[in-house]
């Protein structure tokens, strides 16, 4: 399981109203967006961060992190 961080399908987000859409292809990109761009400390954001960390530690697979990231992106209204 170690080293597998790529999503099967990218997640498309738009961080700001005037920003271009961005395709998130792996757990590292998702984690960076969660840390850098989502400021509110919600439960869905925390769950997504935990899922990303679990993938990076080799404890789970990327689909779990993708699902959690999509939920956090929906909540933050950045999912396209």
- The per-residue pLDDT for 2 is 52
pTM for the model: 0.93
Token digits of residue 38: 């989502």
- The per-residue pLDDT for 58 is 94
Token digits of residue 29: 């990109």
How does residue 3 score in pLDDT terms, banded at 50, 70 and 90?
Answer: low
Mark 21-50 as b/e (b = at least 16 C-beta within 10 Å).
ebebebbebbbebbeeebeeeeebbebbbe
How does residue 4 score in pLDDT terms, banded at 50, 70 and 90?
Answer: confident
Q: Which of 37, 9, 15, 11 is nearest to 24 (CA)?
A: 11
Q: Which of 9, 8, 17 is nearest to 77 (CA)?
A: 17
Tens digit of pLDDT for each residue in 18-74? 899 999 999 999 999 999 999 889 999 999 999 999 999 999 999 999 999 999 999
């Amino acid at each position: 399981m170690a080293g597998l961080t790529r999503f099967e399908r990218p997640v498309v987000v738009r961080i700001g109203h005037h920003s271009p859409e961005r395709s998130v292809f792996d757990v590292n990109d998702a984690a960076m967006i969660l840390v850098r761009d989502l400021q509110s400390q919600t439960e869905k954001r925390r769950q997504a961060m935990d899922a990303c960390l679990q993938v990076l530690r080799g404890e789970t697979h990327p689909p779990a992190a993708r699902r959690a990231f999509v939920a956090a992106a929906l909540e933050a209204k950045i999912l396209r």
